[in-house]
Amino acid sequence: MGGELTGATLSLGGVAAATAIPMILINVSGGVLADTYEAKYLLGGSSLIGALLLAVLGVLTMTETVEPWHVFAIEIFSGFVAGADQPSRQALFPSLVPQSAIKSAVTLNGSLLASALVVAPTLGGLLIAATGLHIGFFVAAIGWVAMFVVTLFLPVRGTFSTTLSVIADLGTGFSFIRSH
């Protein structure tokens, strides 16, 4: 979309960086957040924010008022959301599957994710070609809303932080990594 708006294919790389940089920054502390706060609620919140961001982009596209800075700003926020969302999913996963089935569940989850990374963009591209870019954004937003609804039925996992300080927990995590 960045290249389509600006006429520069380099903009696409800029949009990807606008997502990746905040995602990496938050992902470092995302595990601590998922341990300090209930992962179910972090996941639900990130789903609602993701839906809102996509809906805003859909409206801007539909009304033909979208500007490159809109796309970059939304992608920066999306990066922050994804950075908190991924560790929350991983933290919640073991509470959904019996310990004896964890290996199989992780394998199945990985294969489903890999399949979704191929199938979803393909279907999205077909949908966009048939109906328009804004419809693709609205359908993706509905997907995030569906994820939020699912989080309402997930079990409460509990929190595991003993310090309630993100900085202290990050230090503990880095110490563990260094020693192992």
pLDDT, position 45: 93
pLDDT, position 161: 58
Residue 92: exposure state from Cβ atoms within 10 A (0-12, 13-18, ≥19): buried
Provide CB contacts within 8 A for 46, sequence distance 6+: 81, 82, 84, 85, 88
Query: Does the structure show a pLDDT above 60 at 2?
Result: no
Q: How large is the average pLDDT for residues 106-131? A: 86
pLDDT, position 4: 57
64 token code pair = 């033909």
Rounded Cα distance between 80 and 46, Å, is 9
119 token code pair = 């199938």
Q: How large is the average pLDDT for residues 142-170? A: 79
> How many domains does the chain contain in total?
1
pLDDT, position 162: 59
DSSP structural state of residue 132:
-
Count each helix (H run) and each strand (E run) in the chain, helices first: 7, 0
pLDDT, position 93: 78
Structural contact between residues 37 and 157, judged by C-beta atoms closer than 8 angstroms: no
For residue 136, name the pLDDT band (cuts at 50, 70, 90).
Answer: very high
Which CATH number characterizes residue 88's domain? 1.20.1250.20
Rounded Cα distance between 114 and 100, Å, is 23
Rounded Cα distance between 154 and 121, Å, is 27
pLDDT, position 160: 65
Structural domain span for residue 37: 2-179
pTM for this entry: 0.79
Rounded Cα distance between 82 and 54, Å, is 13
DSSP structural state of residue 57:
H
Q: How large is the average pLDDT for residues 83-95? A: 82
For residue 138, name the pLDDT band (cuts at 50, 70, 90).
Answer: very high
